[in-house]
A and B are shown apart, each in its own frame.
Chain A
Amino acid sequence: MTGRARARSRGRARGQETAAPGVTPFQETAREAPPSEGELVGRGRQRTAPGAVSSEAVIQISAGFQQVKIGERGGRRRDFHDAGINTRQAMEHVRESKSGFSGSPIELKANFFKILSRPQWVLYQYHVDFKPVMESRRLRSALMYQHEETLGKARTFDGALLFLPHKLHNTTVLYSETRMGEKVQITVTLTNELPPTSPVCLQFYNIIFRRVLRMLNMQQIGRHYYNPTDPLNIPQHRLTIWPGFTSTILQYESNIMLCTDVSHKVLRSETVLSFMMGLRQQSGDQRFPEACTKELVGLIVLTKYNNKTYRIDDIAWDHTPNNTFKRGDSEISFKDYYKAQYGLDITDGNQVLLISHMKKIGPSGGPPQGPAMLVPEFCYLTGLTDKMRADFNIMKDLSTHTRLTPEQREGRLNRFVGNIHQNTEAQTELNTWGLNFDNKLLSLTGRVLPSERIVQGSRTYNPWQADWSKEMRGIPLISCRPLENWLMFFTRRNNDVAQALLQTLNKVSTPLGIRMQRAIICVGFLPKVVVVLPSNRKDKYDSVKKYLCVDCPTPSQCVVARTLCKQQALMTVATKIALQINCKMGGELWSVEIPLKQLMIVGIDCYHDTAAGKRSIGALVASLNQGMSRWFSKCVLQNRGQEIMDGLKVALQGALKAWLKHNNCLPSRIIVYRDGVGDGMLQSVVNYEVPQIMEPKLTLVVVKKRISSRFFARIDGKLTNPPPGTCIDTEVTRPEWYDFFIVSQAVRMGSVSPTHYNVVYDSSGLKPDHMQRLTYKLCHMYYNWQGIIRVPAPCQYAHKLAFLVGQSIHREPNMNLDDFLYYL
C-alpha cells in the first residue's frame, strides 16, 4: 500500500470556507520569506542569460529552493522534498562523480517525465506594491484582476509576488478602485528573471501541475490527487479505494522532471458515527471509551461540508452537538451552526464530539488556533486502522486491487500523461505558460551489482536467486549455541502440535549443527523458553515478551499453534524456528565477504508509539565483528519533543564499549544507516545528528523506503521488475546529494520498490562504488530471512527492535540481552 496514512492532517485551507467551528476564521496573509540576497541564485537581480546554467549553478539553485516560497494562497508549508539541503558539496571525493562502476549495465525505464519548456523560457517575477496599503490579500487579488489586459491571462499572484511568462516595463503603475470607491495605486516592479531551473520555477511548475490535475476532475486528499469517479469497493469492510497519482516536479541530476507514481487512497464509506456505534456494539458500554480512543485517535477524517482533512487527536466525551461555541459575539450550538451554515441535520444529538488540534499557525504568525470540534456524523474515516492492517483477509483483498505489475503500472502512467495531453483545458493552461511534458517514460541505464557469495562456515555458495533457503539446507551454520535448559509452554489443547514441533525440531537441528537437549522444566535459571500460543491474541504475546525481556531476561520464541497445524509445512516451520532460536541465543548463520577491516556498521530506526502519548522509540543496532554476524542492540524511549539522537548517543557509546570488549580495539570507521527519517526531516538529521556522532571516519547514510521512484526493466520483450542488485546513480538522483538507489529484493507480485540511499556525511573517503556494494552486501545479512531484503540488515534489526518495544514491551529491555538478537 503506498501512501498509507500519509495524509497526516495537512488539510490546507481551501479558499474561503468558514473555518471549522471552534476556530476563529482568519484571513490568510501573504508570508514572504525574507530575501537573502547575494548568495542565492534565483533571488535578487539575477540577469545572466537563461539556459546556459552550469552544473555548479544548478546545485546552488536547487539549494536555494526553500528560501523563496510562492503559494497559490500563501501560508507556510513544509518542504516535503528536503530540497535546499546541499550535502554533496561538503564531500570532496564525490564532487566530480558519485557513480559506481561495477556490475553489468541494464536498460531501465523510470516513472519520470521530462518537462519541456519553450527555448529561452523565462519566468518574470514582479513585486507588487499597493498604495494605500491593502490589508486583505483577497482584495489585493481582486484589484489585480481589473488589469487583465495589461497582465495577461497567465499569471500567479500571491498577494505580493506576481509571476508572468512575459515581460512588462521595468516599473508599471496601474490604478484601481475598491468597492468603497477608494483609489489605489498599484506599482508592479520587475525584480527577477528566473531561468527554468530556478527553485522558484520548480515550485511554480508544481502549482501549475496541481491546477492541471484539478482540471482532470481529480480530488485532492492530503498531498496527492485521486480519481473519485471509478472507485474500487470492498463492501465487506466498507472500504472504497480511489486510484490516483503522486507527483513531484524537481530538479533531478540532469533535467527537471515530473516523478509520478500510481497511488491508492483507502477511504471508508461509513461515517465515524456509524463506526463508533459498531464499536460500541462489539466492545460493550464498559470498554467502549477505551476501544474508541484506541481505534480513532490518530486517524485522518474527511468532513461532509468542506474540503479539509483533520487528524483526530482526542475525543470530547463531555461534548455533544448541543454544546455551544462562540461565533462572532454570540454563542451558537453545533447543531444550529451546521443547520444554518450547511443545511445539515444532526440526527443523533447524543454523539460525543471529536477533537482535532490545528497545527496551522494563527493569523499573522500568532499562536496556533484552538482545537476544532468535529461532529462524528459528518466525518468519514480514511486509511486503515492497525486492526485492519493486521487482518490478513482485508490486506489480501486490498492487495489484489492495489498491487500492479510493472506493465500495469506503466500502462496507468502512460494513460495519465496521455489524459493531460488530450484534455484541452489542461493543454491551454500549460500552453499559456509555455510548458509541456514529455509523453514517454524516462529511459536510463543502471547497473546490476555482482552477486554476493554467501559464506556459511567452511562452505560458500552463490545463490541462484535472491533466496537461498534451498542452498543452505544441510549445511552447518557458522556457529551454533546448544539448546540446553529450555522450557516449552503450551496449553493442554495444544499438546499434540507441541509434541510434533518438539520432534521435528530435533530432526532439523542436527544437520544445522545445533545440539538440542530435551526440553525440561528447570526451576530458577531459565536460559531459553519456547511458548506455543493458542491464538494470535496480541495481549498474550505482549505479556510473555514483556516478562521475558524486562523482568526475567531470557531469549524466547513464540509460536502460534495454528502455524504448526499443517503437517506438510512443519519441517519448513521447524527449520525456521530452529534458525531463529539459534540467532536469539547468539549463534551465527551465514556471512558475506566484507573487504574492510575494523568497520562498525550501525543501523538506526525509530517507532512512533501513538497510543502512549506520542512517545518515540529509537533503536540502535551495531555490528560487533568482521562478518557482520554479531550485533549489539539498544533501545531508547523518548518523550514527545525530545530529539531521538540524544538517547541514541548513549546507546552508541555502549556499542563502542561492546566492540572494544569483542575486538580489543575500537573500530577505525563507522558507517551509520539511518532509517525512519520522514519527508522534510533531512535538515535536522544533517544539522543535529551528524555532530552528535562525530567520529574521525564517519559515514551517515539516510535510508528511505517510502519513495515514489520506480524502475522497470525490459527482459525478453516484457516489462518486468529489475533484478535484485540493480543500482541507479544517474539521471534520477539529485544534483545536490550523494545519493543512489538500489533494488535489492525480489518480489513475486506487483512492482518492486527501490530503496533510496542518501549519504549525507562521509569523512571516510570510501568510493561510491564501494559504498553501493557494501550497502548491497548488508542487505544479505538479515537472519530472519534467507534471502536479500529491502534495506541493510542493521536497519531491519533496528526496525524489529523498535517495533517490539513500541508494540509490546513499552519499556526498555533488560541490558543482559543487548548482545543477542532477542527481538527477531
Chain B
Amino acid sequence: MNTIFTPPLYIQRYEFVIDFVKKNKPKKVVDLGCNDCTLLRKLKFHKEIELLAGLDIDCAVIRAKMYELAPIPTDYLQPGDHPLTIELYQGSVTERDPRTKGFDLVTSIELIEHLQLEDVDRFTEVVFGYMAPVAAIISTPNADFNPLLPGLTGFRHYDHKFEWTKVEFQTWALKVCREFGYVVAFTGVGQIPAQEESIGFCSQIGVFQIDRSGGDAPRLQNNVLYNVVYPSLCDSNIFQRTLVNEVLYWAETLKREWLEEIRFEVENEEVGGEGRTDMGLYREGQSVCVPLVRLCSCPRVQALSGTVQHLTKFLLENSRVQLTNDGTAVVLVDNDDEDLEWDENCDNTGTGPFLVSSVENEDWETELGQ
C-alpha cells in the first residue's frame, strides 16, 4: 500500500524524526511503541543522544531484536567521545511510568490510532501532563488522504481503532497545547504529485514544543528489559586506558624514529651523533626519555588530554606509564632486540620421569596373521 511513495512512507517518517534530532540535538529520547526497535537502531548513530529509550507493551517484539542495539566490537576499539545508554522498557503509554519522565524528545510514530479513544485521553495526559518532555513528535494517519490510496476500504490497518482527519487531529493537538502549555507545528510526510493541497499529507505529524521550562524529575528504574551502556571516553577507566595506550604508542614510535636517526648518523659517521636533541628525546642510563611536551604534539594525545599539565596529571595517576622524577617525560626501557628463534617446536622440555619403559622386539605383522 505504501509503495506509492518513494522512499516508503515508514522510512520517510523515520527520516523526519532523524532530521528533527539533527537539528534540535535532544540529549534524551524515548520512542513510545518502539516495536522491534527499528527507529532506535537508526537513532543510535546520532552522537547528540545520551539516553535512548524505547517503550512497548509487547515484550516479545522488543526481545526479538533488542540485542541488535548492543555495541559492536568497534565501539570498544575506539570508544566514542559521548556517552550513550540504551534502555528498553515494557510498559503502557497510558500509564504513568516514572522512568519516562524528563526526556527531551518523545516520539510516538503511528501509535495513537491503535488506542481506544478513551485511552487517547489518558495517553495525552500521561505524555504531556506527566512525562512533560521538551518536545514531542506525534504522527498518525490522515483520514482525508484515504480516498487517494488505491483499493483501500475502511482503515489502513485492522488494529486501527480510528483514523483522524486533518481537522480532527489539529483540534486534538490544539487542545493539548492549551491544557499542557505546548506549541504545535503541523506537518507530515507523503504527498502525491497533483493531489489537492488541502488534503495534506498521508501521515500527519504534530511537532510539540514545551512552552515553559520544566524541571527534571528524579528518574527511578525498574522492570527494565534491556540496559546497555556504550563504552565512551566519559567513563574514566576507558578514558585512562585509551590515553595510556595512545601515549605509549606514540612514545614508542618516537623512540624508534629517534634511535633509527642516531644509528643512521653513526653509520654515516656524521658529527653530533647522540648529542642532537631536536626531537627532544634523550637518554638516561639504559632508558630513553620522551618529553610530554613532545607527546602532546601528537594530534590524538592532544585531543584526549588538552594541555601538557592535564597530561602530566593523568599520567601521574597511572601505574602503567613510568615518568621521570620531575614528571616531564615518559621513561621507556631500551631493550636490545633479542635474537631467539621462534619455532613452534622449540618448547620441548620434559615433564618429568613419567615415561613408561619401552616394549622390545615386537612384530606387528605376525599379530595381523598375514
Instruction: Show the binding face of A for B, using Cβ within 8 Å.
Output: 14-17, 102-104, 141-142, 145, 148, 153, 177-181, 214, 217, 219, 221, 226, 228-229, 231, 233, 235-236, 238, 240, 267-269, 271, 302-307, 328-329, 341-344, 380, 392-393, 395-396, 448-453, 462-467, 562-563, 593, 595-597, 715, 720-721, 723-725, 745-749, 765-767, 770, 782, 784-785, 787-790
* A-B pairs with lowest CB-CB distance, top 6: A465-B350, A235-B248, A723-B354, A451-B355, A228-B76, A181-B158
B351 contacts A by Cβ under 8 Å: yes
B157 contacts A by Cβ under 8 Å: yes
Known: A380-B74, A450-B356. A180 touches B157 (CB 8 A): yes
A219, A268, A448, A453 pick with most chain B CB within 10 angstroms: A219
Q: Which of B64-72, B85-93, B195-203 faces chain A?
A: B64-72
Task: Scan B314-347; emit 1 where CB is below 8 A from any A CB, else 0.
Answer: 0000000000000000000000011111101101
B245 contacts A by Cβ under 8 Å: yes
Q: Which residue of B lies closest to A307 (CB)?
A: B72
Task: Scan B126-167; emit 1 where CB is below 8 A from any A CB, else 0.
Answer: 000000000000000000000000000011111100000000
B249 to nearest A CB, angstroms?
A: 5
Return the contact of A214 from the options B67, B249, B338, B354 (Cβ within 8 A). B67
Give the distance in Å from the alpha carbon of A745 to the alpha carbon of B345 in the complex.
8
B157 touches A788 (CB 8 A): no
B313 contacts A by Cβ under 8 Å: no
B45 touches A344 (CB 8 A): yes
B359 contacts A by Cβ under 8 Å: yes
B368 touches A766 (CB 8 A): yes
Q: Which residue of B lies closest to A716 (CB)?
A: B352
Give the distance in Å from the alpha carbon of A236 to the alpha carbon of B253 in the complex.
7
A236 touches B73 (CB 8 A): no
Give the distance in Å from the alpha carbon of A235 to the alpha carbon of B245 in the complex.
5
Known: A141-B64, A228-B76, A307-B72. A235 touches B246 (CB 8 A): yes
Residues of B within 8 A of A16 (CB): 38, 65, 68
Residues of B within 8 A of A343 (CB): 22, 45-47
B353 contacts A by Cβ under 8 Å: yes
A103 touches B348 (CB 8 A): no
Q: Which residue of A lies closest to B355 (CB)?
A: A451
Return the contact of A745 from the options B72, B78, B157, B347 (Cβ within 8 A). B347
B77 touches A380 (CB 8 A): yes
Q: Which residue of B lies closest to A596 (CB)?
A: B364
Residues of B within 8 A of A450 (CB): 356-359
B367 contacts A by Cβ under 8 Å: yes
Return the contact of A269 from the options B231, B245, B341, B352 (Cβ within 8 A). B245
Residues of A within 8 A of B365 (CB): 595-597
B337 touches A235 (CB 8 A): no
A593 to nearest B CB, angstroms?
A: 7
A181 touches B157 (CB 8 A): yes
Known: A228-B76, A267-B77, A597-B365. A448 touches B354 (CB 8 A): yes
B110 to nearest A CB, angstroms?
A: 10
Give the distance in Å from the alpha carbon of A233 to the alpha carbon of B73 in the complex.
15
B197 to nearest A CB, angstroms?
A: 26
Q: Which residue of A lies closest to B42 (CB)?
A: A341
Known: A181-B157, A214-B67. A788 touches B355 (CB 8 A): no
B348 touches A745 (CB 8 A): yes
Residues of A within 8 A of B270 (CB): none
B349 contacts A by Cβ under 8 Å: yes
B73 touches A219 (CB 8 A): yes
Q: Which residue of B lies closest to A788 (CB)?
A: B348
Q: Which residue of A lies closest to B368 (CB)?
A: A765
Return the contact of A145 from the options B61, B72, B344, B348 (Cβ within 8 A). B61
B73 touches A307 (CB 8 A): yes
A306, A343, A396, A450 pick with most chain B CB within 10 angstroms: A343
Residues of A within 8 A of B337 (CB): 392-393
List 17 other contacts, CB 8 Å, given A16-B65, A597-B365.
A178-B158, A180-B157, A181-B154, A181-B158, A304-B74, A396-B338, A450-B358, A450-B359, A451-B356, A467-B350, A562-B339, A563-B339, A723-B355, A745-B345, A745-B347, A770-B364, A782-B345
A785 touches B77 (CB 8 A): no
Residues of B within 8 A of A593 (CB): 362
Known: A181-B158, A221-B73, A302-B73. A790 touches B344 (CB 8 A): yes
Return the contact of B7 from the options A328, A465, A745, A747 (Cβ within 8 A). A328
Q: Which residue of B lies closest to A218 (CB)?
A: B70
Return the contact of A240 from the options B65, B77, B159 (Cβ within 8 A). B77
A328 to nearest B CB, angstroms?
A: 7
A-B CB contact pairs (8 Å), 12 listed: A15-B65, A16-B38, A102-B359, A228-B73, A229-B231, A304-B74, A307-B68, A465-B348, A466-B350, A595-B363, A724-B351, A747-B349
Give the distance in Å from the alpha carbon of A450 to the alpha carbon of B45 in the complex.
63
B351 touches A723 (CB 8 A): yes
Give the distance in Å from the alpha carbon of A307 to the alpha carbon of B353 in the complex.
51
B185 contacts A by Cβ under 8 Å: no
Residues of B within 8 A of A229 (CB): 76, 231
A306 touches B157 (CB 8 A): no
B252 contacts A by Cβ under 8 Å: yes
Give the distance in Å from the alpha carbon of A571 to the alpha carbon of B22 in the complex.
72
Return the contact of B364 from the options A328, A464, A766 (Cβ within 8 A). A766
Give the distance in Å from the alpha carbon of A715 to the alpha carbon of B159 in the complex.
69
Task: Scan B56-67; emit 1 where CB is below 8 A from any A CB, else 0.
Answer: 001011001101
Return the contact of B348 from the options A233, A725, A785 (Cβ within 8 A). A785
A145 touches B77 (CB 8 A): no
Q: Which residue of B lies closest to A268 (CB)?
A: B77
Give the distance in Å from the alpha carbon of A180 to the alpha carbon of B150 in the complex.
13
Residues of A within 8 A of B363 (CB): 595
Task: Scan B78-102; emit 1 where CB is below 8 A from any A CB, else 0.
Answer: 1000000000000000000000000
Return the contact of A748 from the options B241, B249, B349, B356 (Cβ within 8 A). B349
Residues of A within 8 A of B65 (CB): 15-16
Residues of A within 8 A of B77 (CB): 240, 267-269, 302, 380
Give the distance in Å from the alpha carbon of A302 to the alpha carbon of B73 in the complex.
8
B6 contacts A by Cβ under 8 Å: yes
B237 to nearest A CB, angstroms?
A: 10
Residues of A within 8 A of B340 (CB): 392
B360 contacts A by Cβ under 8 Å: yes
Residues of A within 8 A of B341 (CB): 563
A460 to nearest B CB, angstroms?
A: 10
Return the contact of A790 from the options B47, B345, B353, B367 (Cβ within 8 A). B345
Return the contact of B351 from the options A180, A233, A307, A746 (Cβ within 8 A). A746
Return the contact of A305 from the options B45, B157, B353 (Cβ within 8 A). B45
B318 to nearest A CB, angstroms?
A: 12
Known: A102-B359, A462-B357. A748 touches B68 (CB 8 A): no
Give the distance in Å from the alpha carbon of A596 to the alpha carbon of B347 in the complex.
31
Give the distance in Å from the alpha carbon of A269 to the alpha carbon of B6 in the complex.
40
B244 contacts A by Cβ under 8 Å: yes
B358 touches A451 (CB 8 A): yes
B194 contacts A by Cβ under 8 Å: no
Give the distance in Å from the alpha carbon of A453 to the alpha carbon of B357 in the complex.
9
Q: Which residue of B lies closest to A562 (CB)?
A: B339
B1 contacts A by Cβ under 8 Å: yes
A302 touches B74 (CB 8 A): yes
A814 to nearest B CB, angstroms?
A: 27
B74, B154, B158, B370 pick with most chain A CB within 10 angstroms: B74
Residues of B within 8 A of A723 (CB): 351-352, 354-355
Residues of A within 8 A of B362 (CB): 593, 595
A464 touches B353 (CB 8 A): yes
Give the distance in Å from the alpha carbon of A251 to the alpha carbon of B274 in the complex.
66
B347 touches A231 (CB 8 A): no
A328 touches B67 (CB 8 A): no
Residues of A within 8 A of B7 (CB): 328
Give the distance in Å from the alpha carbon of A766 to the alpha carbon of B345 in the complex.
30
Give the distance in Å from the alpha carbon of A103 to the alpha carbon of B370 in the complex.
25
Q: Which residue of A lies closest to B340 (CB)?
A: A392
Residues of B within 8 A of A219 (CB): 71-73, 76
Known: A343-B47, A745-B347. A217 touches B70 (CB 8 A): yes
